[in-house]
Amino acid sequence: MNQFLTDERVAFIEDKAREIRIEIINMLAQAKSGHSAGPLGMADIFAAFYFHILNHDPKNPSWEERDRLILSNGHICPVRYAAMALSGFFPVSELNTLRKINSRLQGHPHRESLPGVETTSGPLGTGLSQAIGMALSAKMDDKKWRTYCFMSDGEHDEGNTWEAIAFAGKYRLRNLTALIDRNNIQIDGHTEDVMPLEPLSEKYIDFGWHVLEIDGHNIEEIVAAVNEAKAIYEKPTVIIAHTIPGRGVSFMENNHLWHGKPPNEEEAKMAIAEIKRTEKKKK
């Protein structure tokens, strides 16, 4: 995709992020189950990737030259489903089936159910290892497509994550870009209370990665960071994206209690009304 990032293009992507947020709220309210904070916080990043960054073809999800996007923290899948539907992978109306029996949209992504999903994810800490396997195979076969792995900050509590970080640094997987949703919360509270991660960037540097830190709600910064990652030829890149959990819904923002909680009908109406007010202000 990778069109030139004009002001008009930025506005278009921001509009898509708002659409994604509205669909997330609707999905979760109907399912009466699922995670709210993480999906809302990652809406801008998913909009930037699905509507600007990724080389993909929604009408041909198995296109061999597509970029691979691995969602390690699968519990935030409502944001991925919304981005996929709005970009044409499947009908938007299907979003209403989230977490229902026989739905393709499970509470964690299931590779064999939904074309366009690269891996089945659920247990935290496994996504980066899966992404490394893809990136290593592409490097060995001299393929041009890139592998992106979206991760939570909380899953850095997992030892397997750090084994993968060390492996990617050793083998200089320049075609691999990891993006961390650094929202500072996990289900039991704030990350620095549960298991301190800082200094996170220095740790990645020590393992041989190129490190970038961005505002995860700024479209220009998201796109610029990915472009810089493509220009780094001797090592993998990690983008630490500082985000606000529950972004766009004031009563959810920065509240870890919304990590794994869906809105009820009244809360959903309030949330959607607030998101729509933001849209009107932009215009």
CB 169 within 8 A of CB 205: no
Q: Is residue 2 part of a domain?
A: no
Which phi-psi region, left, alpha or beta, contains residue 54 (left: φ > 0; alpha: ψ -120 to 50)?
beta
CB 247 within 8 A of CB 37: no
Q: Is residue 165 part of a domain?
A: yes
Can you give the pLDDT at residue 187? 85
In whole angstroms, what is the distance from residue 187 CA to residue 194 CA?
A: 10
The answer, yes or no, to whether residue 2 has pLDDT greater than 60, is: no
* Residue pointed to by tokens 């309030």: 270
Question: Looking at residue 187, which CATH number applies to its domain?
Answer: 3.40.50.970
CB 76 within 8 A of CB 35: yes
From residue 124, how far is each of 76, 121, 168, 180, 243 by CA, in Å? Answer: 12, 8, 18, 13, 19
User: Between the CA atoms of 249, 255, 258 and 263, what dihedral angle is there, to the nearest 10 degrees?
Assistant: -40
The answer, yes or no, to whether residue 247 has pLDDT greater than 80, is: yes
Domain that holds residue 111: 7-282
The answer, yes or no, to whether residue 3 has pLDDT greater than 80, is: no
Band of residue 281 on the pLDDT scale cut at 50, 70, 90: low
Q: Is residue 113 part of a domain?
A: yes
Q: Is residue 147 part of a domain?
A: yes
In this prediction the pTM is 0.96
Domain count across the chain: 1
Give the residue among 225, 252, 220, 228 at the shortest CA–CA distance from 14.
220
Return all residues near 116 (Cβ < 8 A) that are at least 6 apart: 56, 58, 61, 84, 89, 90
Can you give the pLDDT at residue 282? 59
Q: Is residue 161 part of a domain?
A: yes
Q: Is residue 200 part of a domain?
A: yes
Q: Is residue 219 part of a domain?
A: yes
Residue 212 β-bridge partners:
239
Q: Is residue 1 part of a domain?
A: no
The answer, yes or no, to whether residue 158 has pLDDT greater than 60, is: yes
